Structure 1
Amino acid sequence: MPVEHPKVAVLLAAYNGVPWIEEQLSSILDQSAIDVTVFISVDQSSDGTEVLCHACAATHPNVVVLSDLGRFGGASRNFFRLIRDVDFSHFEFIAFADQDDIWHSSKLLRATESISEQKVDAYSSNVIAFWPDGRSILLDKAQPQVELDYFFEAAGPGCTYVMTNALARSLKTSMLENWQRLQDVSLHDWYCYAYARSNGYRWYIDPVASMDYRQHERNQVGANTGLRSLISRYKTIHDGWWFSQVRLIATLVAPDKTASSIIRRSLHGTQLIKLSFNAWQCRRRIRDKVFFFFICWVSALLGSKS
């Protein structure tokens, strides 16, 4: 009898991806010991991405291109569309994919086995960021999870996420109930992690890198490294974007939870100073805990557009 492999629905959001998407699709379709179906949603592109994706679907029966819905204007809305429109009732696991990475052949097998062995509902992992000039670096996101981290950060790059069917169905139901407000969420991976953790689902962050994470000038969100990245992060906090996203996500994923209510009340004025003393429970990495502590004080004393 043939061996039955885990069935995984891979949700891939594409936009102007002609330079990379064929290589990415090849790495997904070459996954070891996994029954993969790739669902592609193409944000209206100018480089022929739609044509290329349909050509791939014509030669690969396990590649499905969703109908054209026009312009989404960002990866987050594109991924939300995929979760809403794909029928994944017959799949055991649901995974996210970007168009420009390269998956290791064991990525999905390791993810599904880890979910089973760790007795969790979702998985993410470290990645190896690489640049056109040949540089590469391990991006370590696998620090121990803490009590409130999901209100302030994702579980690593969303392109590493793999969820059980039960979690994905629950996530979809909540999304449909909050569809209009959901369109203002900028980072789908942060939102999905926050939904899972705030609703009692267990998450495992694997210290082993599962993929090569391509860096280029068109990355919507890239590797968070160096001083330039730190300055950029401060600007998003000072101009109010980060605080507004924290408040929105907390409201959407856990409107009636005590922790969510406390967080929403703590994002302005002197309340930020009180929040700063909980920095150890708000971010996973030590450097980020320290940054969080100081940014709360700076925002409280100098003000931000929160």
Structure 2
Amino acid sequence: MIKVAVLMVTFNGERYIEEQLTSILNQKLDDDIALDIYVRDNASTDNTVAILNKYKKENKIKLKLLENDGPAVSFVSLIRETVGYDYYFLCDQDDYWNEEKVRISLDRMKNNKVPTMFFSNAELVNEKMESMDCTVYKKEPPHDLMTIACSGGILGCTVAFNSELRKYILNIPVKKEKIIMHDYLLALVCAAIDGRIIYYEKPLVKYRQHGNNVVGVSTSVRSKIIARLKNIYKKNDVSISEQTKLVLDSLKDYVSNNNANKLRRIVNYKENSLTRLSLALSSQTKYYSFTGSLSIRLGILMGNI
């Protein structure tokens, strides 16, 4: 039997949570797949908990009610606490899964004995689940170590990974002030230990865009410009150097010398203007688009990322 855990963090998600849970419960699964849903609610003040308690009473989910630690810490904590599964899926409260998502994800990850992470494209939809006629990715995003360490770039709500990768996450201390975002951290760990990262080009998730998104996708020219300017001028709460140092210090026994040297460039990039310039102009980073590359490189040059 293949055991699958779906991990979801909720906060004031009453508008969309039932649609999302329905899409997970309606997955087309082979007879040898057992799927469990784990939900951590971060002190919702709306009707979210009442809705979740209904599903818990029907034995459809396993629920924890906790203080609001934010999505990054909450997801990493869920990964650490959920024991005994072969595969793990990250799940947002407001999206909608293609009925083949689990089956396709497992099919692409099967037979991988090394730490493996899977992510897919996603279709952008509005609040009413109406298509916006575009996807998150127009081409395969780069997912080499240096690019991931500097910019992330992997859509967390599409991510699945195997138990081999989870073992390494257990080595990472849960420190809010050191983790930018859970999906970012997961991808960085996988790349740092030379795990396998698999991209699937077709959308397996309807990625809902609305005013309450913690992380959304900029679609208009104006919103893209604003997002790029923020990357350049706004100083991040957690820097790439802090998150990279956390991973490097925690996994030093599992990271090759070559990868360790790359990561040290990022850990130490703020030391002076030359180290910032060196990383900003590095040919080892391969960002998704020209405008994205420009904003990230300028943000690094200013020491704000």
TM-score past 0.5 threshold: yes
1:17, distance to aligned residue in structure 2 (A): 0.7
| Change in 2 beyond 3 A, CA 1:95/1:170 | same
> Which whole-Å CA distance do the structure 2 matches of 1:293 and 1:155 have between them?
14
**1:73-152 correspondence to structure 2 within 5 Å:** 74-87=70-83, 89=84, 91-116=85-110, 121-132=116-127, 134=130, 135-140=132-137, 142-152=140-150
SS in 2 for 1:253: helix
1:18 partnered with 2:14 = yes
Q: CA deviation at 1:138?
A: 0.7
Which residue is 2:165 aligned to?
167
TM superposition score normalised by structure 2: 0.85
| Distance (whole Å) between structure 2 residues aligned to residue 285 and residue 240 of structure 1 | 21
Residue 94 of structure 1 and its aligned partner are, at CA, apart by 0.5
Equivalent pairs counted in the alignment come to: 287
Say which is worse superposed, 138-147 or 219-228, in terms of deviation. Answer: 138-147
CA distance in 2, matches of 1:109, 1:174: 29
Q: Which residue of 1 aligns with 2:36?
A: 37
Q: Percent identity?
A: 21
3-state SS in 1 of match to 2:36: strand
**TM-score calculated relative to the size of structure 1:** 0.85
* 1:9 has 2:20 as partner: no
**Distance in structure 2 (CA, Å) of the matches to 1:114 and 1:46:** 39
Instruction: Indicate the larger mover: 92-101 or 134-143.
Output: 134-143
**CA offsets 1:205-250 (integer angstroms, 9 cap, x no match):** 21111110011100000014344234234324423217x4201111
Whole-angstrom CA distance in 1 between matches of 2:239 and 2:304: 12
Report what 2:57 is aligned to.
58
| Aligned with residue 70 of structure 1, among 64, 67, 71 | 67
Structure 2 matches for 1:265-276, cutoff 5 A? 265-267=268-270, 268-276=272-280
Output the aligned Cα RMSD.
2.3
Checking the alignment, whether the CA contact within 8 Å between 1:130 and 1:212 is kept in structure 2 is: yes
5+ residue gaps, structure 2, are 253-259
Q: Which runs of 5+ in 1 are unaligned?
A: none
The answer to whether residue 256 in structure 2 is matched with residue 262 in structure 1 is no
Higher strand share: 2
Deviation (angstroms), 1:98 = 0.5
What's the secondary structure of 1:174's corresponding residue? coil
